[in-house]
Structure 1
Amino acid sequence: MCGIAGFSHFFGNMGDKETLKEMGNSIYHRGPDAGGEYINDNVGLAHRRLAIIDLSEAGVQPMTSHDGQYIIVFNGEIYNYLAIRDELSAAGYPFKTHTDTEVILALYALEGKEMLSKLNGMFAFALWDTTTKELLIARDRVGKKPLYYLKTDTQFAFASEIKAILTLPNISKEIRLDAIHDFFAYQYIPDPKTIFNDIHKLPPGHLMTVSNDGIEIEQYWDVTFSKTTTKTEQELTKELFELATERTKDRMMSDVPLGAFLSGGIDSSGVVAMMAQNSETPVKTCSIGFDDKKYNETEFAKAVAEQYQTEHHEFTVHQNVTDSLEEIVAYFDEPFADPSLVPTYFVSKLARSQVTVAIAGDGGDEVFAGYEKYTTDDIENRLRNKFPKVLRKNLFPMLSNMFAKSESPICRKAKSLFYSLSLEPAMGFYVTNSQIEDRLWKKLASNKTLQRLGSYHPSKITIDAYNKADGPDHVSKILYTDMKTYLPGGILVKVDRMSMANSLEVRAPILDKDIIEFAATLPSSLKFNSGEKKHILKEAFKPVLSDDILYRKKMGFSVPLAAWLRGEIKDLTEDYLFTKSSGMQQFFNMETVKDLWSQHQQNKADHSNVLWSMLMFQMWWFKYIQVEQHSDEA
């Protein structure tokens, strides 16, 4: 796992080798083992290395092909690189290292950009062709590894993290207003946007070609739900277990210490079970707990650890959130508000004290329908289909408004239900996902912000993904939507930043392309079976996990957020929202902010999601915008 950065001089001079070094040093945490730069009249490439495979100096990047034609900087792991290497060696390619990086160079020399279809792994890389004078930049299929780029009429640069781009001179930090609305709706900013107007995300499964002729972006992979298998459930369950076992074994290849995250949930427990069955030594496992038992899963993690006799390590988050929060938030470079970033940071820190690589269960919920929200949305969609459209459009909005007059829990649920039933399925799924109601957003945002946004609404992101899905039913369409939005924009960003903050590589076998494509061929009933979530995954893991793990109520990687805001982080939040509030004041109605804070503190309402999002926004603002403004004023 590494960090990459660079620029092109095609549109304007971007700097020299020292500029590249500064870009690389800004993401030192992604690769503390080595660094390097390459520059010519057309491009500059920088790399920070976290050595995992072939620890010798031969693996240092930027790496040049044996004939000198291609130069690459690469972040990630290619899990099938040994098989590809054997084929290329048989064809006569003279390998100088044992790295997967050189395999990419060799495969590109043979097949060009078509070689992306053969790579199975997580990656973001930039490859310079000295002959064609083209820079190829690519990102893996589901977005495990990040890739940001800056493009203006006179500037082009790219990096694993935005902070590296911001080290360049004369970079505009003009805020993208619709991205702020997106952030409060989703708690992250979906690709291809970032918080900055001129900086963008390369979407997962896409490649970019940069040359003197300009920039071309194309999609090289997408998942399809249109081909449903006719195999029996028994056959598919056996196939899934074998596939998951093999893909977990693939990710156990490492020249450095390796372990696993273990929450006690189905996904991480299944991964640990498969690791234990294929390891000659006890697997090192790491878990995070909380004092509040409602959020503490460590007893389940301990049960799995004992079953497989792992070398188990635990850390309990007591009253130390405030001490670390500012540091944690700084790693995201743009507003990000998934509260589980806190335990993810601490479990990564714990794991890094024992290992350099951790295997995780990420992806099980998105690939096999594991979230509770799918139950909510499925119930609403079934009800939606029972009523004539004219009734839903005309009567239900009135009923929703009628119940909105009361703040009682029953009336709030009725209001939400009738409102959702009045919507089309895609918009209904957006409402299920949204972290802020439109009614509250209109109170929170200032009149100036609302006027500037005009008719823009974040639901377009969900609706566009839903409408692009080719699945035969609603469940397959919402799974596709989450795989294209929430997974790369929320889950994988959180895991990448928090693990890389601790110089830890995290691998996710359930997000292997073969498992994703296999799951997409399954009938939705095998994933979401009459309300039972992850049905076939549970069946596949039955030989290795107890019913207490397989069928317990899902907790998720949650935190006691409402209580934190009234206790542990109350003073910190008040300071940022009402003293260091310049960012909030530019976009929001501060009287509404004060009202929400007061209602939450008096326990009259739970506004924890929106208050947390405000805190994350303001902490980001103070780190990345306010400091610069103070510097300019000085």
Structure 2
Amino acid sequence: MSGISGIVSRSRNPSIRAHIDMMTRSLDHRGPDGSGVWVNEARNVALGHVLLATTPESKAERQPLSDMPGGVALTADLRIDNRESIHRSLRLESSPSDPLTSPKLLARAYRKWGAECTDHLFGDYAYAIWDGQSGHLLCVRDPMGVKPLYYVRTDSIFAFASEIRSLLTLPGVSDQINRRQVLTFLSGGYTPREETFFESIKCLEPGHLMHVFPDLSTSSERYWSPARQIEKLSLRKDSEYERKFRKVLEQAVGANLRSIGEVGILLSGGMDSSSVASVADAHERSSSAPLHTFSYTFPSLTERKRRFVDEREYIDAVLESGEFDPHFLDAGTLSPLHQLEDMVEVWGQPFNIRGLYTVSKILENARGNGVRVLLDGAEGDSVIGYGYDLLTQLGREDDWERFAEIARQHSENYQEGRRKYPPEKVFWNHGFGVIVEHLRRGRLRRFYRSANAVSKHLGIPRYLILKRSAYWVWPSHWRKKLRFMRNEERDLVPSEKFKRLGISREDRSALGDLPSDEPLHVQRSLALQENRALTNALEAMDPIFAAHHVEARHPLYDRRVIELCLSLPADQRFKGGWTRSILRRSLRNVLPDKIRRRLGKVTLEGVIAHNLRRFEKDRLSDFILDDALRPFVDREVATEMLDRFRESGEPDSACTRSLLRMAVVSVWLRKRRHGNLKGPPQTVSLPKE
């Protein structure tokens, strides 16, 4: 993990060295192991870099790289995981006196393949390459967006950096607020992924590259398009799928374990983190040092509350099956606003704090134990998939009898784990949309035929299917008016504000406007490559990890894992009534049975609300009633939410989420007003070397 920065000026810029120095110093908290700048005043270009060394070869890194054939120079936040295959393709040899670091491998790959070198790289990266012969700058970001890259373009310069605060140090770069982004965030939605909370600053999208030409014009394109490039995998036997999946997963986890320091794993007890931990333990079993695990549990909560959120029994099952050095955080004693001001200042933008408020405390513990690399399995279900698209496929084929059979199997598996998921609920969640789509498209005969078949095989009254279908084919603004008349919904952000900006409700969804008429495997690929919520979470994690000098690694986001999972037939992911079946079957001798046979997951919504009210009643009021929020929210609705939160025995999760978003925006607006979002972060909680 590193930090990168750079400037290309349209004409002579006598201050370019001072500007790149300031930009790079603004990233010093990301790189305790070295820094450097490269300036070519004749060509009006400058690059900067700060280093956090996490792999054996990275100790020899000296960036930016320059003086390469063709006048090529580069700066990279880069970790290449398929080093051996790159070595073979380029016929390279490394020596102890001149180790081939990842940036050097990138330079050789660019010399051979040009911009198409992205097709050959597996790993996490954000990099910029200056080509002195063409006078072009190439900026690239990895397929899932693990490494961020922000940029700004004015009449006189193009500049990029790992963090926005670096760009805000430049003269002429405005910190004007992007109202679209703020309003959409407060409403619980997402804007297009290139947008940030600052009007002038953009973000290079995951899986994209951008050419910057001498006149500062730009051309951006997607280089990784799994929806168009990946074909369905077809093997003869289930066992062949299992072997292939396990081999690729082991390869990805093994590559992510390379480190110069201790390695840790964020272990929640869920399927993804438990799989990563178990595979990593098997890979490192011969090592003398056990892997660290970091988990949050809730021993301080009452037994009734703990039952819904604590995963200690599953965490223990993993720990007992391997050799680990476990560390625990009692999240029941932690406020959801823990270190909020510091985290907002470190990233410089608002973020969804629900999944991150425990991270800072865990990172302090990890760093204290010498951990520089922390593996995370979060949101791996987005990659592997539950397999519910098999049910959608059966619905589209009008095979409601098989749909009902699988739904009953699935329900029985849930009952085995003492949980409830009745077959009719499976239909409402994963089959009902197919029927509604028939009605929307005017396929009335098929709609009635499907409704009759569902009623016959699943025992759902036909009138109920017809009633709910009629509701969902209404225009969205009619449904909204009906909810308002029932007093079910009042908008925190008035709809008029969105109308004035031309933003529809569909524009704010986590996946954007995905086509509904594509084949299901294409839809699934598009949903992954366009997932705004996932990108937002990764971008929020990066600066918080970087500030603690710990690199977050995501083995399940390895390109090889992703492409294999997207190529799998749906029935390999949902078999015998088990979702995520390929993962359960492939790791039958590695993953504890208690995890393999687990269905469902816990949600922290209840404990977040409980702790927010327990620790933050007074401070929350200061945030929610902050006058700086008036231009963005309906003050009356905000006050009603706050009162309802204080008085309700069990506050609803939607209300809690809205209050948290307002708190984050309030802090961000204050930080911006006081000038804390540009230049080196001033927060006192950052670790010191």
**Fold shared by both chains (TM-score > 0.5):** yes
SS at match of 1:362: coil
Whose radius of gyration is greater, 1 or 2?
2
1:522 corresponding residue in structure 2? 568
2:411 corresponding residue in structure 1? none
2:672 corresponding residue in structure 1? 624
Q: 1:3: how far off? A: 0.9
1:395-433 deviation digits (Å, cap 9, x = unpaired): 9xxxxxxxxxxxxxxxxx99x976984379xx99xx9xx
SS at match of 2:3: strand
Q: 1:537: how far off? A: 1.1
2:583 corresponding residue in structure 1? 537
Q: 1:24: how far off? A: 1.9
Identify which of 350, 354, 358 aligns with 1:343: 358
1:577 corresponding residue in structure 2? 624
Whole-angstrom distance in 1 between the partners of 2:253 and 2:155: 45
1:405 corresponding residue in structure 2? none
Whole-angstrom distance in 1 between the partners of 2:547 and 2:427: 37
Whether 2:225 is the aligned partner of 1:216: answer no
SS at match of 1:567: helix
Q: 1:113: how far off? A: 0.8
Whole-angstrom distance in 2 between the partners of 1:156 and 1:362: 34
- Relative to structure 1, the CA distance from residue 94 to residue 220 in structure 2 (aligned partners, 3 Å threshold; closer, same or farther) is farther
Give matches, 1:401-416, under 5 Å: none
Q: 1:228: how far off? A: 2.0
**Aligned residue type for 2:624:** L
Whether 2:58 is the aligned partner of 1:53: answer no
**Aligned residue type for 1:572:** R
**Aligned residue type for 1:34:** G
- Relative to structure 1, the CA distance from residue 479 to residue 331 in structure 2 (aligned partners, 3 Å threshold; closer, same or farther) is farther
2:460 corresponding residue in structure 1? none
1:503-552 deviation digits (Å, cap 9, x = unpaired): 11121111111111111111223224587431211111221122211233
**Aligned residue type for 1:499:** F
2:113 corresponding residue in structure 1? 111
Whole-angstrom distance in 1 between the partners of 2:322 and 2:523: 37
**Aligned residue type for 2:121:** L
1:311 corresponding residue in structure 2? 325
- Relative to structure 1, the CA distance from residue 557 to residue 310 in structure 2 (aligned partners, 3 Å threshold; closer, same or farther) is farther
Whether 2:299 is the aligned partner of 1:296: answer no
Is the CA contact (8 Å cut-off) linking 1:257 and 1:356 kept in structure 2? yes
**Aligned residue type for 1:359:** L
1:400 corresponding residue in structure 2? none
The structure with higher relative contact order (CA 8 Å, sep 6+) is: 2
Q: 1:458: how far off? A: 4.6
Is the CA contact (8 Å cut-off) linking 1:237 and 1:539 kept in structure 2? yes
SS at match of 2:75: strand
Q: 1:93: how far off? A: 12
Give matches, 1:296-445, under 5 Å: 296-321=310-335, 322-354=337-369, 355-370=371-386, 379-386=428-435, 389-390=438-439, 421-422=472-473, 443-445=491-493
Whole-angstrom distance in 1 between the partners of 2:5 and 2:191: 21
Q: 1:78: how far off? A: 0.5
Q: 1:554: how far off? A: 3.5
Is the CA contact (8 Å cut-off) linking 1:187 and 1:338 kept in structure 2? no
**Aligned residue type for 2:24:** G
1:410 corresponding residue in structure 2? none
- Relative to structure 1, the CA distance from residue 25 to residue 627 in structure 2 (aligned partners, 3 Å threshold; closer, same or farther) is closer
Q: 1:47: how far off? A: 0.9
**Aligned residue type for 1:356:** R
2:270 corresponding residue in structure 1? 265
2:231 corresponding residue in structure 1? 227
SS at match of 2:296: strand
Whole-angstrom distance in 2 between the partners of 1:497 and 1:56: 20
Q: 1:146: how far off? A: 0.6
1:601 corresponding residue in structure 2? 646
1:278 corresponding residue in structure 2? 283
Is the CA contact (8 Å cut-off) linking 2:177 and 2:197 kept in structure 1? yes
- Relative to structure 1, the CA distance from residue 496 to residue 469 in structure 2 (aligned partners, 3 Å threshold; closer, same or farther) is farther
**Aligned residue type for 1:577:** I
Identify which of 125, 133, 136 aligns with 1:131: 133
Structure 2 runs not aligned, ≥5 long: 393-420, 445-463, 678-689
Whole-angstrom distance in 1 between the partners of 2:150 and 2:323: 42
Is the CA contact (8 Å cut-off) linking 2:147 and 2:542 kept in structure 1? yes
- Relative to structure 1, the CA distance from residue 491 to residue 528 in structure 2 (aligned partners, 3 Å threshold; closer, same or farther) is farther
Whole-angstrom distance in 1 between the partners of 2:123 and 2:558: 7
**Aligned residue type for 1:453:** L
Is the CA contact (8 Å cut-off) linking 1:124 and 1:137 kept in structure 2? yes
**Aligned residue type for 1:510:** L
Is the CA contact (8 Å cut-off) linking 1:360 and 1:509 kept in structure 2? yes
1:5 corresponding residue in structure 2? 5
Whether 2:515 is the aligned partner of 1:467: answer yes
Give matches, 1:195-214, under 5 Å: 195-213=197-215, 214=217
Is the CA contact (8 Å cut-off) linking 2:189 and 2:509 kept in structure 1? no
Q: 1:339: how far off? A: 0.5
1:406 corresponding residue in structure 2? none
Q: 1:603: how far off? A: 0.7
Is the CA contact (8 Å cut-off) linking 1:526 and 1:535 kept in structure 2? yes
Is the CA contact (8 Å cut-off) linking 2:375 and 2:552 kept in structure 1? yes
Whole-angstrom distance in 1 between the partners of 2:580 and 2:530: 19
Q: 1:207: how far off? A: 0.7
Whole-angstrom distance in 2 between the partners of 1:372 and 1:197: 39
Structure 1 runs not aligned, ≥5 long: 396-412, 630-634
Whole-angstrom distance in 1 between the partners of 2:190 and 2:668: 12
**Aligned residue type for 2:27:** I
Whole-angstrom distance in 2 between the partners of 1:368 and 1:516: 7
Q: 1:215: how far off? A: 1.2
- Relative to structure 1, the CA distance from residue 350 to residue 499 in structure 2 (aligned partners, 3 Å threshold; closer, same or farther) is same
Whether 2:522 is the aligned partner of 1:507: answer no
Q: Which moved more, 1:367-376 or 1:448-457?
A: 367-376
TM-score under structure 1 normalisation?
A: 0.85
Is the CA contact (8 Å cut-off) linking 2:57 and 2:100 kept in structure 1? no
Measured on the aligned residues, the alpha-carbon RMSD in Å equals: 3.7
**Aligned residue type for 2:632:** F
Whole-angstrom distance in 1 between the partners of 2:594 and 2:576: 20
Whole-angstrom distance in 1 between the partners of 2:71 and 2:95: 14
Whole-angstrom distance in 2 between the partners of 1:566 and 1:324: 17
SS at match of 2:491: helix
Is the CA contact (8 Å cut-off) linking 2:143 and 2:559 kept in structure 1? yes
Whole-angstrom distance in 1 between the partners of 2:474 and 2:582: 31
Give matches, 1:1-80, under 5 Å: 1-10=1-10, 13=13, 15-41=15-41, 42-54=44-56, 58-64=60-66, 66-67=68-69, 69-80=71-82
1:422-454 deviation digits (Å, cap 9, x = unpaired): 379xx99xx9xxxx9xx9886322576245224
Q: Which moved more, 1:71-80 or 1:166-175?
A: 166-175
1:249 corresponding residue in structure 2? 254
